[in-house]
Structure 1
Amino acid sequence: MAKCEICGKLPRKGIQLSHSHIRSKRVWAPNIRRVKVNVNGTIKRISICTRCLRSGKVQRAQ
């Protein structure tokens, strides 16, 4: 599932509105990456959004 395990960001649903005002449903998915991170000294593989990864909320394992 496209969910960030740090901030809990989920896909957002809405409508796409064309120039002729035809409405169609669409989904905005967060940019999720599966990376190895350091969690309390142990290395775990978690799903994390790139916003949390870029802001330094977790320490990436080497």
Structure 2
Amino acid sequence: MARRCEVCGKGPTTGNQVSHSHILNKRRWLPNLQSVRVNVNGTVKRMRVCTRCLKAGKVVRAV
């Protein structure tokens, strides 16, 4: 399963881990995804949504 938000499409980003002696190692930053139940067109569906989309109200949680 892809580590990608189903609303905005946010996925992992890459960069370097920099040590004190400035040795560079590749690393990844993963998005904060939550598996939530969401109302989509009147039906309840389980989606993986990033917390930024949840906080912005881009999805409506099912109760």
TM over 0.5: yes
Unaligned ranges ≥5, structure 2: none
Aligned structure 1 segments of 4 or more residues deviating by more than 3 angstroms: none
Letter in 1 for 2:58: K
Structure 1 unpaired stretches of 5+: none
1:24-49 deviations in whole A, cap 9, x for unaligned?
A: 01000000011100001100001100
1:40-55 matched pairs, under 5 angstroms? 40-55=41-56
What number of residue pairs does the alignment pair up? 62
TM-align CA RMSD? 0.6
> How many Å separate the matches in 1 of 2:3 and 2:49?
9
Using the size of structure 2 for normalisation, the TM-score is 0.94
TM-score for both structures, normalised by structure 1: 0.96
